[in-house]
Amino acid sequence: MNKPTYGVVLFHSTQAAIKAEKILKEAEIKIKLIPVPRHLSSDCGICLRFEVDDVLAVKSTLASKNVQTARIHQL
């Protein structure tokens, strides 16, 4: 089985990352809070990892709940 390709959403604050985690979990999107990979300099220490196929769902779900994100990257 191939490992899925991941992307990450970065946030300004930890609390925003946790808010986003909660909202995406409720929307049943597969995500995990992980430390921000070193090469992506960051605003706070944790970010949300998602499967790249879900990128549109992640973006629209967060936008619809007014969650501010800093940046989105593909890993």
Partner 1 sequence: MIYMDNAATSYPKPDVVIQAMTDYMKNIGANSGRSSHRLAIEAGHIIYETREAIAELFNISDPLRIIFCSNVTEALNLAMRGFLKPDDGVITSSIEHNSVMRPLRALEEEGVEVTVVNCSSQGFLEPREIQAAIKANTKLIVLNHASNVIGSILPVAEVGEIARQNDLLLLLDAAQTGGAYPIDVEAMNIDLLAFTGHKAMYGPQGTGGLYIREGVDLKPLKWGGTGSRSDEERQPDFLPDRYESGTLNIVGLAGLGAGVRFVLAEGEDNIRGKEKNLTQKLLDGLTNLKGVTVYGGLDIDRQVGLVSFNIDGLMPSEVGFQLDEEYEIMCRVGLHCAPAAHKTIGTFPTGTVRLSLSYFTTEEEIGKTIEAITKIASK
CB 42 within 8 A of CB 36: yes
Binding mask 54-73 for partner 1 (x = CB under 8 A): ------------x-x-----
**CB-nearer residue toward partner 1: 28 or 45:** 45
Interaction between residue 44 and partner 1 (CB under 8 A): yes
Label residue 45 exposed, middle or buried (CB < 10 Å: 0-12, 13-18, 19+).
Answer: exposed
The DSSP symbol for 54 reads G
Enumerate binding residues for partner 1 (CB under 8 A).
Answer: 12-19, 22, 33-36, 41, 43-46, 66, 68
